[in-house]
Amino acid sequence: MDVLLFRALSLLGLAILVALAARRLRLPYTVGLVLAGAALAATRSNAGLALTHDLIFDVVLPPLLFEAALNLSWSDLRRDLVPVVALSTIGVALCALLVASGVVAGLGWPLESALVFGALISATDPIAVIALIKESRVTGRLSLLIEAESLFNDGAAAVFFTLILVWAAHDPMSARDPLAAITTFGVVAGGGLAAGFGIGLIAVMIAGTSEDHLVETALTVVAAFGSFLIAEHFGASGVLASVGAGMTMGNLGVLMPKERFGLSITPHGRAFVLEFWEFAAFLANSLVFLMIGSALAAVDFAREGIFALTLVIALALLGRAAAVYPVSLAFARTRWAIPLNQQHLMWWGGLRGALALALALALPADLARRDDILISAFAVVAFSVLVQGLTAPLALKTLRLTPKRR
């Protein structure tokens, strides 16, 4: 117990030092964490870091997703709901198919393995994208589009990923039956949202009877983790559940006065909830990017070769382009038109991170090319976080999207 506590405090201290250094050097905080994690692994320091699917899904994702959704106003989202849904569904499918086609043609992978890889790498990672947006201080419609798409496109990717895994297992009764596919979609996406909205609504109703900001905050914690775990237990999307719970508690509680069915009657109560979740997100971000850095240092990238790694990274970028530009073009002459410079940022800022790695780590051991998929996912994430994340501030300036300082 003492050793575990010491390791936890050591990691928190390291995260604080990285945050201070990153601010002085004007580097993205997430990049600094990944490098620090890699340095720990390279020096063989026993920091207790272990990147696993369960740790990412059960510990890291709920607070990060809930915190982002808590601040997502429904009135703002409603204005751009159509392009957000299109980007997070049609865009994900286009990206996955392009990546799968590329690895089949270029690397000779079996079709099922290629589709699995395309599905898990197609969704931008909410953790990495939200961290980028916060560090860059991007606000307004662009921030909404990027954050909302990142939060919702995981639902489509999870459904696609699940269907492809069923098909890869060669279960013709489940894979070829359209009704089974629709049922899977309803369980994963619809079930996740239903669990999130339902649990969030119950938590808001209970919180509405309290004047204690500590009780209200505790209820948000129960909603964030409870919705995620319940949805995952029943085979639904825990990510969408936490997003649904966060939006429900945010729009019916934190962002609304108590006289209109709100969470807290005092400004102090609302401020406390938001600050608590901002701190929780900081801890989760610090943990996951340190773990990613540590895991990257242990991956045998040489096994795949330069050509294969370069190809999968290029395909991931091309797939993201296929997800952004054609869908945005469809809205060019509508009120939902997205300026070209913002499309460029949505493409380059579409980072991959812990979510792709969690899905890759959960792949069945008997899946063909499993190790190749895992190494390729790590390669894409490494490029995404270190190269795209590091150059994102420069991209903002080049595209003239940097917020004006007051």
pLDDT at residue 2 in the model: 63
DSSP state of 402: P
Q: What is the pLDDT of residues 316-343, one digit of tens each?
A: 999 999 999 999 999 999 999 999 999 9
Average pLDDT over residues 227-240: 88
| Residue range 267-287: mean pLDDT, rounded | 84
pLDDT in tens, 235-269: 888 888 998 999 998 888 776 665 555 455 556 77
pTM, two decimal places: 0.85
State how far Cα 106 lies from the chain centre.
28
In contact, 373 and 114? CB cutoff 8 Å: no
* pLDDT classification of 126: cutoffs 50, 70, 90: low
- With tokens 């091309």, the residue in question is 318
201: tokens are: 């609504």
Q: Quick one: pLDDT at residue 178?
A: 59
Domain boundaries, the chain: 2-398
The position carrying tokens 């792949």 is 363
Residue 64: C-alpha distances to residues 147, 170, 275, 296 (Å)? 12, 35, 13, 22
The pLDDT tens digits of the residues spanning 138-179 come to 777 888 888 888 888 876 777 778 778 777 665 544 545 556
* Per-position b or e across 125-136, b if 16+ CB within 10 A of its CB: bbbbbbbbbbbb
Please say whether the beta carbons of 389 and 349 come within 8 A: no
pLDDT value at residue 84: 92
What distance in Å separates the CA atoms of residue 60 and residue 288, rounded to the nearest whole number? 7
The two tokens of residue 71 are: 């601040």
pLDDT of residue 72: 84
Task: Look at residue 237 and give its three-state secondary structure.
Answer: coil
pLDDT of residue 175: 47
Tokens representing residue 10 in the block: 């050591």
Copy the structure tokens of residue 322.
Answer: 């296929």
Residue 7 burial (C-beta neighbours within 10 Å; 0-12, 13-18, 19+) = middle
Residue carrying structure tokens 């019916």 = 252
| Architecture of the structural domain at 2-398 | Up-down Bundle (1.20)
Higher pLDDT, 311 or 2: 311
Give the DSSP per-residue string, 88-99. HHHHHHHHHHHH
* pLDDT greater at residue 96 or residue 362: 96
Look at residue 43 and tell me whether its pLDDT is greater than 80. Answer: no
